[in-house]
Amino acid sequence: MTNELRDRTVLVTGASAGIGRATATALARMGANVLMASRSRERGEAAVRAIADEVSGARLHLLLADLSTIEGVRSLADQTLAASDRLDVLVNNAGLYTRQRESSSDGFEMQFAVNHLAPFLLTALLSERLEASAPARIVMVSSEAHRRGRIDFDDIHGERRYSGLGAYTQSKLANLLFTRERARRLSGTGVTANAAHPGVVATRLLFEGFGPLRLLGPFLKTPEQGARTIVHVASAPALERLTGLYFIDGESARPSARARDDDTARRLWDLSARLTGIETTENRTT
């Protein structure tokens, strides 16, 4: 175990499997105090045991929360604040794909709820702690799928027409727009916000959503390979002052024109603030 992140606290959502678990493992190996958020206690505890067996001296703490609900996101924020008096890195990794339209208990389309609204709200609730811990970093795990996305403000929850892939690409575009606007709002605080594309990784989420890709399994990235760019954005000293960027294979990349639309980013921010009920506190840094 190295000491590159010694005395640093990191929160990784969706940390019980796949890219999230690989990210948590790598950060634990770098000496970080890793808060691992999981919806399932069973899978979360199994992941903690596996990482502890792999990384000698790993500092791991399991936090349980259902990020499909506003209540669950608020619970995770509360657990995080109670678990550590600092937060140096927030890795918003948790995500899902659904072929058929599903609604969250709050009435939101499920992919929009988990992939976008959850990290939007969680980051808002933890921003004060991140600022107090500055220099600190927010890492948003997005995807090249964002290039096919568009934000349908007239049917944001897919109530009139629904496509699983369309909802997914919309949420991944939302991730980049959120990162861009969050970086703008955090200017001067010492907290950076960047997005990362892990690549096409052989995970349960990918295979459950896009079954035919199983045939390409040998050619896809492993979760450990997919985590490399995320870990790089979370820890590389050279990136300490860089913000509002999108990374692929460890290098800054140019996202789609839609992902660089500041008017859409602000409009999405305002909508997300209303839906999650944080408009009063989060619009103070416009």
- Enumerate the active-site residues: 168
Calculate the alpha carbon distances from 199 to 71, 170, 196, 247 in Å.
31, 18, 9, 10
Closest CA to 70 of 282, 283, 276, 271: 276
Classify burial at 7, counting beta carbons within 10 Å of its beta carbon; exposed 0-12, middle 13-18, buried 19 or more: exposed
Tell me the chain's radius of gyration from C-alpha atoms. 17
Structure tokens at 113: 């709820």
| Residue 57 vs residues 8, 26, 278: alpha-carbon distances, Å | 15, 13, 38
End-to-end CA distance of the chain: 41
